[in-house]
Structure 1
Amino acid sequence: MTTTQDPVAAAERCTPEFRRNPHPFYARLRDTAPVCPMRPPHGNETYLITQYEDARAALSDPRLSKDMYGAMDAYRKIFGDSSVALDDNMLNSDPPKHTRLRKLVNSAFTPRRVEALRPRIQGIVEELLDGCPTREPFDLLPAFAFPLPITVICELLGVPPEERSQMHHLSTTVAQTGFSEESKRAQQKAEEDLHAYFTDLIARKRSQPSDDLLSALTAVRDNDGGLTENELVSTAFLLMFAGHKTTAYLIGNAVHHLLAHPAQFRTVQENPELVGQAVEELVRFDGSVESATFRYATEDVEIGGTRIPKGALVQIALTSANRDPLKFDRPDEFDVMRPDNEQNAHLGFGHGIHYCLGAPLARLEMQIALTGLFGRFPRMTLAGPAAEAKWMEVPFPAFRGLAELPVVLDPAGS
C-alpha cells in the first residue's frame, strides 16, 4: 500500500492555465500520483483519483458515501449551512434513501418517454435558431446552448416561461461561487431564493396541478408520503440544476471542438447517422462534468494501492479518466469515428447507482442540437482562433465549459 503526493495539485487546479487546458496536469498525475492527497482551499483532507479503472471502481464503491449529512462538518465548511436544505436529494444520499428517491423520478427519464420529447426539442431548436443572427459574430451560449436545455427541463417540470430566466440566474450564482465572504453571501442568498421559489411553485402545483413532473411528484408526496416536503423541494432543484447546466456546457464544448476540427466536422456533416457516435466521443473528449460530486470514506479504503483514510473526501476526475491511455487508444485525439463500444466506454455520465439519470435526455438534446445547427448552417465557423477560447473559471473543478462561444452561422451568406 502506498501514499503518493503532488504538493502543487490543489493550487494548480485553481489557475486560469488549468481551466484552459487541464489535460497535461491530469496526464502528469496519472503517471506520478494517480490517487493524490491534496489540501484544497476548504481545508478538508481530499484525495483526487485520475486513472480510469480507479475512477470506475470508486464511482461504485459503497464505502465512498454520497450522504453528505454523514460528513456534516466537512460539508458545511465547503458549502455552508444554506446548501443543506437544497441538497436533500438522491445525488447526496446512499441506499436505501437513494433507491427510494431515484425510483420516484425514474419513470420520467425512460428511453420511451425521452424519445417522445423529440418533436418538442426539435421545435425549440428551430425557434432558437430563427432568432440568431446569421452573418455577424454572436455568442452561441446565451442564444442557443443555454436556452435549449433550460426550456426542455422547465417544460418537463412545469416552470412557467416568465420565471425561467430567474432560475438560470440563481443556479449560475450557485454553480460559480468562490471562497470569499462576498461570494459565499451571494451563494447563500441564491440558495435561499431557490428554496423559496420551489416551495412556492410546489404550493401552486397543489392548488392547480397540470401535466408535468413536479405536479406528479407533489401528488406522490401528498398521497403516500413517498417524499418529505424538503425532499420534494430539493429534488425539484436537482432536476432543474442538473437538467440544464451540464447539457448547456456539453453543447458549447461540442460545437467548439467540432468547429476546431474541420475534418471531424465534415465527417459528421456528410454522415449524419454518426451524430450519436460523435456525441459519445465529444462527452469522452471534453465533457461538461470535470469531477464527480464529493464522496467521503466511511472507513479506510484502498484504491490503486493508496490508502484513503476514514473521513477523507474523495474527488473523481472524470475528465482525466476519459483521457487515460491505459483505457483508450489515442486518448488525446478527437475522433468521431471512434467505435461506441465497451473498449471506449467513457465515464462522462458517471457509473454505478449514481449514473446520470438524465443521460438519455442529454444525449437526445445534444443530437438534435448538433443536427439542427449544422444542418441549417453548414458553413458555420468560430469567430476567433480556437486556441483563444475563454473557458469558465470556477472554484471547484466540477463543471468544464466555455465562458463564451463566438461564432458566425453563415459567413458567406445564403
Structure 2
Amino acid sequence: MPLPSTTPSSGPLTLGQDIFDDPHRLAAALRQESPVREVTTPRGVTGWLVTRYEDCRAALTDPRLLKDAKAATEALGRQMDPTSPYLHASARLMESHMLNTDPPDHTRLRALVNKAFTPRTVARLRPRIEEIAEDLLDAMAGTPADSDVDLVKALAQPLPIAVICEMLGIDAADRHRLLEWTRVIVSSAPGTDLVRASDDIVAYLDELIARKRAEPADDLMSALVQVSDQGDRLSRDELIAMGVLMVVAGHDTTVNLIGNGVFALLSAPEQLARLRADASLLPGAVEELLRYDGPVHVATHRVAAEPMQIGGARIPKGALVMVSLLAANRDGERFADPDRLDITRETGGHLAFGHGIHYCLGAPLARAEARIALERLLTRFPALRLGKEAGKPAWYPSLLIHGLVTLPVRLG
C-alpha cells in the first residue's frame, strides 16, 4: 500500500476507512515506511501514530508521555472548535477516569478497584460466568439448522455485559441502554450522537450512585460509594468516570476478544481442529487470539510533556501520541510470521492489554470470560462454522476498539 511522502513537508497522513476495515495492511506499510507517523484521524484529530513493537512498548511506559485527561483535553482544544462534541462537558468528565491519569492519582484510583479484578476474585466469579454462558448457548441452540446466528449479539455481547453489570449492581433491564451508549462513545459516531450518549450515561451513573448511597448493596459500585463517603477519596466526578470506565472497558474488551477470536478460528480450520483435539491448548489459544486480532485498536491518547524522539521521529511538546496495540502485535521483528494464526505460538509480551502501570485492570476477567465462552461454544456446537451471510467482515468504525459489528455463524 503506497503512502504519501513521509518528509515533514508532506504533512500529516489522513487516515480513511482503511484504518477500520484493513488496519493490519495499513500498519504493515507504516511499520516499513514510517513507523512513527504524524496522522489525522477520521475524527479530525492530529497526532503521532506509533506502529513498531519496540517503540510501542517503550512509549507505554515513558513518563514523558502524559496520560492526564487535562493534558489531552488541552491538546485537543488546540485543534478543535470549543463547541466540538469531543470537548463537551460530559465527554470530558467520562475521560477523567484512572486510565487517563498519571501517578499519584492513578495509583490512588487503581488501588480502590484492584481487588475486584484479581485472578482470585475472578476465580470466584467463574461459576456464575459459566451459568450465564450456558443460558446464552441454550438460547442459541433453538436456532433452525439452516439459519445463521449472529454470534456477537447472541454470545459475545450479552455475556460480558451481564457479568460487569452484576458486579456493579446494575439492573438487567438497563443493559441494552448501556450497550447502545458505549457503542456510540467508542465509535466515530456523528457529534450529536456522541453528545447525547455522553449525557445519557453520565446522568444514568449519577442516579445509580445516588441510589447506591441511599440503599447500599453487595456490589462494586456500592463499595466505591462507601469508600468515597468514609474517606472522601473519590469525588462525584471520579465515581462517574470510574463507572464509565468499568462499563465500557469491562465489557467491550471481552465482546471483541470473543467475536474476533471466533472469527479468527473459523477462518483457520486447521487451528480450530487443533484446539478441538486438545482442550489444554485453550489458554495459549486465547493469548494468540489476543495477539493476532486483539480487542483494542489504539491505546488512549498520550501527550508529550516535552520535545522528544520516538523511533527516530521528533515529537514536539504538547503533541498527541497514539500507540497502536494492533500494529505492535503484528510486528515481524517481535513475532515470527505475524500474520499467521498459530495457537501454539509463544505469545509472551504481546501488548493486547497494554503494558506498564496502565496495563488493563480487567485482563484476568476478560481472559476468564473468553476461555469459558470458547470452551463451551466449541463443545456445544462441534460443527460450528461461518454463516452464509458472513461475507466480508464489518468492523466498528473506532480507533479505540477493534471489533466486529456482526458475526453470522451456523451451529451445525
Q: Secondary structure at the match of 2:73?
A: helix
Over 3 Å counting, the alpha-carbon distance change for 1:9 and 1:401 in structure 2 is farther
Q: 2:241 is matched with which residue: 234, 242, 252?
A: 234
Q: Distance in 1 between matches of 2:406 and 2:168?
A: 27
Correspondence list, 1:150-161, <5 A: 150-161=161-172
TM-score normalized by structure 2? 0.92
What is residue 25 of structure 1 aligned with on the other side? 26
Aligned residues: 397
Which residue is 2:407 aligned to?
405
Residue type at the aligned position of 1:207: A
Comparing 81-90 with 283-292, greater Cα deviation is found at: 81-90
Cα distance, 1:280 vs. partner?
Answer: 0.4
Paired residue for 2:394?
390
- Pick from 213, 216, 237 the counterpart of residue 220 of structure 2: 213
Query: Percentage identity across aligned positions?
Result: 46
TM (norm. structure 1) is: 0.92
Deviation per residue, 1:297-332 (Å, 9 max, x gap)? 010111112211101000011111101111111111
Aligned AA (1:96): P
Cα displacement (A) at 1:173: 1.8
User: Would the aligned equivalents of 1:104 and 1:217 in 2 still touch at CA under 8 Å?
Assistant: yes
Structure 1: segments with no counterpart, 5+ residues = none
Would you say the 8 A contact 1:20–1:391 is kept in 2?
Answer: yes
Alignment of 1:377 with 2:389, yes or no, is no
Give me the whole-angstrom Cα distance separating, in 1, the residues matched to 2:158 and 2:361.
21
2:369 corresponds, among 365, 371, 393, to 365
| 8 Å contact from structure 2 (residues 148, 388) kept in 1 | no
- Report the Cα offset of residue 9 of structure 1: 7.0
In the TM superposition, what is the alpha-carbon distance from 1:88 to its structure 2 partner? 1.9
Deviations 1:264-309 (A, max 9, x none): 0011111111111000000100011011111110101111122111
1:149 aligns with 2:160: yes
Q: Offset of 1:373 from its aligned partner?
A: 0.3
| RMSD, matched Cα | 1.8
Q: Is the contact between residue 284 and residue 322 of structure 1 (CA under 8 Å) also seen in structure 2? A: yes
Alpha-carbon spacing, 1:247–1:7, altered in 2? closer, same or farther (3 Å): farther
SS in 1 for 2:403: coil
Identify the residue that residue 298 of structure 1 maps to in structure 2: 305
For residues 320 and 386 of structure 1, do their structure 2 counterparts lie closer, same or farther at Cα, with a shift above 3 Å needed?
farther
Q: 1:5 touches 1:38 (CA, 8 Å); kept in 2?
A: no
Residues 2-401 of structure 1: matches in 2 within 5 Å? 10-11=13-14, 13-15=15-17, 17-40=18-41, 44-76=45-77, 77=80, 79-81=86-88, 82-132=90-140, 133=143, 135=145, 136-178=147-189, 183-341=190-348, 345-384=349-388, 388-394=392-398, 397-401=399-403
Check conservation: 1:4, 1:306, Cα contact below 8 A.
no
Counterparts in 2 of 1:266 and 1:42: CA distance versus 1, 3 Å: closer
- 1:43 to partner: Cα distance: 5.1
Alignment CA distance shift 1:4-1:314 (3 Å): farther
CA offset digits 1:15-65 (Å, max 9, x no partner): 1x4433222211111111111112335555411100000000000001111
Instruction: Flag the 1:42–1:407 CA change in 2: closer, same or farther, 3 A.
Output: closer
81-90 or 311-320, which moves further after superposition?
Answer: 81-90
The question of whether the paired residues in 1 share the 8 Å contact of 2:148 and 2:408 is answered with yes
**Structure 2: where are the runs of 5+ without partners?**
1-5
Aligned mates of 1:8, 1:120 — CA distance in 2: 52
